[in-house]
Amino acid sequence: MIRERLVGCPDQEARSTKHAIFYTYFVDVRRSLLVSLVFVLLAASLARGADRVLVCYGDSITAGLGLEDGQSYPDALRQMLNAEGYHYTVLNRGTSGATTKDAVDDLPSILALHPKVVIVEFGGNDGLRGLPLDQTSHNLDQILTSLQAAHIRVLLAGITLPPNYGPDYIKSFQQVYRTMASRHHVAFVPMIYKDLINVPGTIQPDGIHPTAKGSQILAKTLLPVLKPLLVK
């Protein structure tokens, strides 16, 4: 009996060892597969985000004139989109002092970025300089036509002018945006400043440009109109 038990022990130990080796191998393989799957999903997610470009195309309001780096409305918008699971590369292509004519001239550089969506925020400098409204209208028409011809989704952001420009000119100026939005059937925010008017601390001392707080509000104003143009 003792001898039989002694003879039987090595076989039992061998079976146990084989089982342990197999189990360890199985666990290691499963862990490797899970890790690989995670990396594949992560890479796919990053790839989706890499070819999803959203361009904020505008003048000094977009550029963030007078603000520190990271305080413009495109920066705030990027953070909000990421928080809601929209993985886009948000590019700030704002130029201080730019008119709608400048925007037409710079369009090739925007198209070269192959964006999925473009927020167009131009016209304020046209109005402040008293440029002919038919010129502003023509330029915006060119911008929207070119973007749509490239199958780019567009959000048009309008602006108004200070009261001293007179009610008739201001009304005609605002109508330009409404006409363009209707003609091209684009997403539209008639007045980008609508949610920060009379809110303390949202406009810089120049009376025109948003503060960091104001930029946050601009991003919030645009977000609900922008989201239907995006995909997760």
Beta bridge partners of 156: 120, 188
Single out the catalytic residue among 11, 69, 168, 206: 206
| SS3 of 123-173 | CHHHHHCCCCHHHHHHHHHHHHHHHHHCCCEEEEECCCCCHHHCHHHHHHH
Q: Are 90 and 49 in contact (CB under 8 A)?
A: no
Q: Which tokens go with 66?
A: 């007078």
The reply to whether 141 belongs to the active site is no
Single out the catalytic residue among 60, 72, 137, 215: 60
CA 228 to centroid of chain Cα atoms: 12
Single out the catalytic residue among 59, 72, 209, 215: 209
The reply to whether 114 belongs to the active site is no
The reply to whether 146 belongs to the active site is no
Residues tagged active-site: 60, 206, 209
